[in-house]
């Protein structure tokens, strides 16, 4: 069972084991109905809320649940402001391009499953939309011809989405499409299409079919993002959070981040809104018995999938920016989504029971197929450990750091051992570090790269990268907290950078995942390259070379990585980070390759230089935190760019 051999176990981890080992069935999926009915209540209200005291003993008092709810009255809007109807009509004109949009989504679903929006649900929405509205959209000359449709969509979105335990996926999806079209679905369409466009190469032939309406990939993505943001404002006006809205909000946040970059404040705000909505809808906890209703299986699984995805993004952006995460496992029921394909999640009756029998006791599929839920499960397990690493790295008062670090390492080892064989990465099957980074993926990595689909290869390399990233972050935090050496950090940095270089050498094979490649360079590659460049420069200055960091190989790796950074398009949201890192690393490499001072001149340097030399002589610079900042990645890049090389490294003012 997952996590069985952990040294210490948090309450959340105990919950995980109890939920993943249960017998899987279509019954027993209970959840709060909060936020599912328009205006019915204030959303999730926990144990300390003002209404909790009225609800806790209602069963013993013979009272109905409704007697104790604190509700706010609301009803669908009787009229919709004309300016809103006009803006909606202008937005709906974009649906005239549904044929083009469908080309993008077919391209994506042929490669892999959706992030949170599954292909079966998406097809229901778009096919019913086209069937009901194609004729109207085809004859619409301008937005004036769509005013009636806009008002209808506004009224639909103000209304409730309802379901019972027996509601099918099609019945649920049909409530928001065709003549019942809602703004959430329009938002999902434009967000997904925009997000897909950001993952493709500028030279992809699909963008030729976007002309002349959209000049290029960047223009197309910006147009989809503007439409998505407008749609989001419509949904906010309707104040009716539901699962469809949450899917849309999540896709919108990803699109915004891809275009604006992870360091933008707007991206930080939007991912925070995703977290807030998840909490407000109660997806972070299992509801109490007095608050639950039967929920259809597919919807219960969709909620778990959304939570797992949002939890991972929260930790990812917290890591990149060096900020506290906003969703804490200590307040959440960490239930993994079942490892089912998207088409299996909407099955019913005996077909669904057959699919569930294909899972093992821990919820993993037994067919050995990697799908989106497989990745979501592995990612969530890794991310829970990442949260504890962030507490060491970012926490204000952290006790027993070394003991906690040992526990975390044991948990990483136990996690890897507990994964099913088909997702348990084999180091040699992915990369022979570090030489493989310069062999363009030949030799030991042949099996994975030659036989796997591009999406499966990406999933497997990401699983391996996440494991190495956690190791890197943990050791880096220890360097900062304990003022210790970096001998343990350098091998991990070399391994992770080599993996990034291997992936970048396969850009043609992974051509449909360009956004993921750029992110991997910025989030995984830059910090590792910085560690290696700084330590190599210290060795050059001190004339103390350690075999743990081979000079020639490291210089080659850094040179290749700098070249890869130079290929990032200026239109990418994360371009500024990559370009800043490229220029900083190039300055490091230039300094390393330039003729250095003689040993005699180095010896007469100031105290700072002598301290650096002594540390290096003791073993590759014992105290990294004295030589470079160990805060978040953004701080590190800023420091690299502004470093005064002569005074900092040679003691010459």
In 3D, which of 644, 629, 515, 493 has the Cα closest to residue 571?
Answer: 515
Between 566 and 285, name the one with better pLDDT: 566
pLDDT at 209: 85
Half-sphere exposure of 520 (CA within 13 A, CB side): 29
pLDDT at 16: 39
Residues paired with 30 in a beta bridge = 294
pLDDT at 479 over 70: yes
Buried b (16+ CB within 10 A) or exposed e, 427-447: eebbbbbbebbeeebeebbee
Cβ atoms within 10 Å, residue 266:
14
pLDDT at 382 over 90: yes
Dihedral of CA atoms 465, 469, 470, 475 in degrees, nearest 10, equals 140
What is the tens place of the pLDDT at every residue in 460-476?
889 899 999 999 999 99
Can you read off the two tokens belonging to residue 231?
């749609």
629 phi/psi in degrees, rounded to 5: -70, 140
CA gap 186, 194 in Å, rounded: 12
CA gap 163, 293 in Å, rounded: 10
pLDDT at 592 over 80: yes
DSSP one-letter code for 169:
H
**Poorest-confidence range of 285-294, 365-374, 457-466, 617-626?**
617-626
pLDDT at 374 over 70: yes
Between 186 and 38, name the one with better pLDDT: 186
pLDDT at 394: 92
Is the distance from CB of 346 to CB of 118 less than 8 angstroms?
A: yes
**pTM value?**
0.82
The pLDDT-based confidence of 50 (bands split at 50, 70, 90) is low
Buried b (16+ CB within 10 A) or exposed e, 73-109: eeebeeebeeebbebbbbbbbbbebbeebbebbebbb
What is the tens place of the pLDDT at every residue in 80-124?
899 999 999 999 999 999 999 999 999 999 988 888 999 999 999
pLDDT at 55: 62
The pLDDT-based confidence of 497 (bands split at 50, 70, 90) is very high
Percent of the chain scoring above 70 in pLDDT: 73
Is the distance from CB of 40 to CB of 159 less than 8 angstroms?
A: no
């Amino acid at each position: 069972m997952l996590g069985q051999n952990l040294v210490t176990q948090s309450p959340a981890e105990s919950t995980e084991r109890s939920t993943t080992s249960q017998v899987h069935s279509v019954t027993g999926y209970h959840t709060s109905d909060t936020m599912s009915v328009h205006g019915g209540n204030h959303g999730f209200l926990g144990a300390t809320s003002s209404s909790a005291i009225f609800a806790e003993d209602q069963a013993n008092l013979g009272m109905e649940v409704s007697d104790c709810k604190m509700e706010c009255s609301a009803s669908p809007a009787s009229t919709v402001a004309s300016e809103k109807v006009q803006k909606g009509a202008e937005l709906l004109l974009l649906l005239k391009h549904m044929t083009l949009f469908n080309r993008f989504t077919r391209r994506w679903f042929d490669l892999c499953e959706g992030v949170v929006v599954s292909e079966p649900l998406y097809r229901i929405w778009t096919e019913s939309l086209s069937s009901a509205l194609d004729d109207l959209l085809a004859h619409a000359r301008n937005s004036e011809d769509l005013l009636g449709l806009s008002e209808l969509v506004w009224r639909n979105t103000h209304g409730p989405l309802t379901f019972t335990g027996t509601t099918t996926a099609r019945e649920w999806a049909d409530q928001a499409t065709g003549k019942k079209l809602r703004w959430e679905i329009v938002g999902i369409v434009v967000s997904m299409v925009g997000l897909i466009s950001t993952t493709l190469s500028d030279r992809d032939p699909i963008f030729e079919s976007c002309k002349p309406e959209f000049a290029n990939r960047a223009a197309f993505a910006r147009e989809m993002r503007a439409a998505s943001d407008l749609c989001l404002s419509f949904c906010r006006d309707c104040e009716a959070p539901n699962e469809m809205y949450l899917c849309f909000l999540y896709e919108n946040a990803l699109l915004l981040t891809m275009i604006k970059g992870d360091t933008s404040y707007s991206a930080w705000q939007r991912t925070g809104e995703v977290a807030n909505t998840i909490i407000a809808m109660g997806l972070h906890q299992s509801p109490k018995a007095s608050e639950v209703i039967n929920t259809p299986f597919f919807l219960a699984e969709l909620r778990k999938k959304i939570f797992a995805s949002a939890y991972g993004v929260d930790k990812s952006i917290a890591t990149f920016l060096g900020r506290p995460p906003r969703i804490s496992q200590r307040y959440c029921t960490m239930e993994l989504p079942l490892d089912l394909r998207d088409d299996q999640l909407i099955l019913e009756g005996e077909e669904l029971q057959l699919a569930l029998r294909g899972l093992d006791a821990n919820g993993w599929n037994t067919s050995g197929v990697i799908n989106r839920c497989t990745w979501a499960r592995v990612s969530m397990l890794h991310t829970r450990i990442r949260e504890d690493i962030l507490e060491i790295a970012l926490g204000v008062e952290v006790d027993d750091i070394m003991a906690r670090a040992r526990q975390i390492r044991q948990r990483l080892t136990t996690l890897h051992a507990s994964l099913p064989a088909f997702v348990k990465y084999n180091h040699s099957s992915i990369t022979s570090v570090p030489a493989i980074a310069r062999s363009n993926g030949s030799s030991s990595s042949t099996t994975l790269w030659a036989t796997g689909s591009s999406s499966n290869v990406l999933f497997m390399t990401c699983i391996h990268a996440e494991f190495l990233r956690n190791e890197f972050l943990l050791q880096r935090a220890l360097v900062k907290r304990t003022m210790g050496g970096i001998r343990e950090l350098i091998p991990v940095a070399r391994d992770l950078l080599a993996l990034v270089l291997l992936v970048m050498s396969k850009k043609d094979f992974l051509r449909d995942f360009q956004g993921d490649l750029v992110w991997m360079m910025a989030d995984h590659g830059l910090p590792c390259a910085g560690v290696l460049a700084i330590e190599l420069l210290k060795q050059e200055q001190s004339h103390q070379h350690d075999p743990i960091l081979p000079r020639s190989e490291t210089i080659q790796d850094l040179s290749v990585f700098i070249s890869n950074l130079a290929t990032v398009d200026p239109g990418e949201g994360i371009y500024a980070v990559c370009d800043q890192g490229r220029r900083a690393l190039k300055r490091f490499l230039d300094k390393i390759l330039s003729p250095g001072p003689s040993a005699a001149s180095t010896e007469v340097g100031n105290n700072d230089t002598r301290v650096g030399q002594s540390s290096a002589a003791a073993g590759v610079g014992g105290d990294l935190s004295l030589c470079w900042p160990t805060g978040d990645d953004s701080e590190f890049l800023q420091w690299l760019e502004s470093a005064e090389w002569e005074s900092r490294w040679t003691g010459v003012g």
